[in-house]
Structure 1
Amino acid sequence: MRTAGTTPEPESSTGSGLTSLGEVACRYQADEIRPEDLPMIVAEALAAGLDTPTLCELAGLPRNADARDIRDAFEQALSEAGIELPDPGLAQRHALRRLAARLINGEIAPAGLVTDGWWETEVETVEERSFVSLIPQCGCCMEYTLGLDQQTWASELRIAALALTSSPATCPGC
């Protein structure tokens, strides 16, 4: 956290812009960010010190611009910044990690995980597998598919979420 009256070093500001833009790329690939939100997001990256010609162009596009134009400009801006767009599967796995963090922080209830189809996520690690295996496929038969009482399930889900968020991330930008 910055102290009032101090300014960040230019390198750290640009580094922060690159890191956040890498995370945006990951969230974009996981369909967590809508194209119409990208112009404002890249405007924030510009404010953080990251500057490429296409970032400037994209920041100036209106929210109601053609979604294909926004997506094309965003992907070009990432390329100019030296950021690779992550594989959609990897991006989805990192979305799963963010979901686990939201569960731990109390931002989402355990039952809220059931309706999002997370059980379909292709997992690669033991921690991902443990977390996903506890997410039932549907809310209507949650009790049947869980075989546990709700309190035990919620506790086991939180334990698996902690293990997942404590494990090393596989995507440096996410």
Structure 2
Amino acid sequence: MRAAGTTPEPESSTRSGLTSLGETACRYQADEIRPEDLPMIAAEALAAGLDTPTLCELAGLPRNADARDIRDAFEQALSESGIELPDPGLARRHALRRLAARLINGEIAAADLATDDWWETEAETIEERSFVSLIPQCGCCIEYTLGLDQRTWAAELRIAAHALTSSPPIGPGC
């Protein structure tokens, strides 16, 4: 047990960095992280105790470096750290869960869900399908496409979001 105010053990810090980098890989695969943000994420992973040659190289790249170079370095750094990029479909399903949680927490409005292509997500569980089925292609089409008024739609969407976030986790954690 460590005393309050002391730094964490290096092994614990490294595990935390690996977890963070693994989550970043999932969010990257779901297009939630822009390539220009990856050098700072790499620097944070280094500060957490991870240390691979390409992670150091990535952390030193400027935000305006060529996006392909950043992506290549990130994927190589993941490989050197023993982290696999998740399947894009699985990453997107994890992103759907995060989206549902953000809706429940009031971080986004229900109408904001219609601004992306979430309705195209290949949902596999009943909870995912229920949530995705309530996401229209555009915000102006809620009544037309779903046959619901705005208030009823928002309530049903929140119910589906709660069901999704309460359901068992899917696949490898992201």
Look up the match of 2:124.
Answer: 124
Q: Supply the distance in 1 between the matched residues of 2:162 and 2:146 (Cα, whole angstroms).
A: 20
Q: TM-score w.r.t. structure 2 length?
A: 0.93
8 Å CA contact retained: 2:142, 2:149? no
The residue that corresponds to 2:163 in the other structure is 163
The residue aligned with 1:28 is: 28
Amino acid across the alignment from 2:132: V
1:26·1:85 contact (CA, 8 Å) conserved in 2?
yes
Runs of at least 5 residues in structure 1 that lack an aligned partner in the other structure: none
Question: Structure 1 residue 11: deviation in Å?
Answer: 2.0
Structure 1 segments, 4+ long, off by >4 Å, are none
Q: Which residue in 2 is equivalent to 1:81?
A: 81
For residues 2-52 of structure 1, the C-alpha deviation after alignment (integer angstroms, 9 at most, x for no partner) is 986122122221111111101100111111111111000111111111111
SS in structure 1 of the partner of residue 33 of structure 2: coil
- Contact residue 20 and residue 173 of structure 1 kept, 8 A: no
* Contact 1:19–1:173 (Cα < 8 Å) also in 2: no
> 2:51 aligned with 1:51, yes or no?
yes
Shift of 1:172: 3.2
Question: Is 2:115–2:137's contact at 8 Å kept on the other side of the alignment?
Answer: yes
Q: How far apart are residue 122 of structure 1 and its match?
A: 0.6
Distance change in 2, residues 1:140/1:3 (3 Å): farther
Residue in structure 2 matched with residue 97 of structure 1 by the alignment: 97
**Number of residue equivalences:** 173
Alignment RMSD (CA, Å): 1.6
Task: State the AA in 2 paired with 1:118.
Answer: W
State the 1:146 CA deviation: 2.3
Distance across 1 between alignment mates of 2:83 and 2:22: 6
Q: Percent identity?
A: 89
7-16 vs 33-42, which moves further: 7-16
Q: 2:33, 2:162 → 1: CA distance?
A: 25
User: Which stretches in structure 2 are left out of the alignment for 5+ residues?
Assistant: none
Shift of 1:155: 1.4
> Does structure 1 conserve the Cα–Cα contact (< 8 Å) formed by 2:119 and 2:132?
yes
Distance, in Å, in 2 between the alignment partners of 1:36 and 1:137 is: 29
Query: Equivalences for 1:4-15 in 2 at 5 Å?
Result: 5-15=5-15
TM-score by length of 1: 0.93
Distance 2:122 2:80 in 1: 30
- The range that moved more, 136-145 or 113-122, is 136-145
Does the CA-based 8 Å contact 1:35-1:70 persist in structure 2?
A: yes
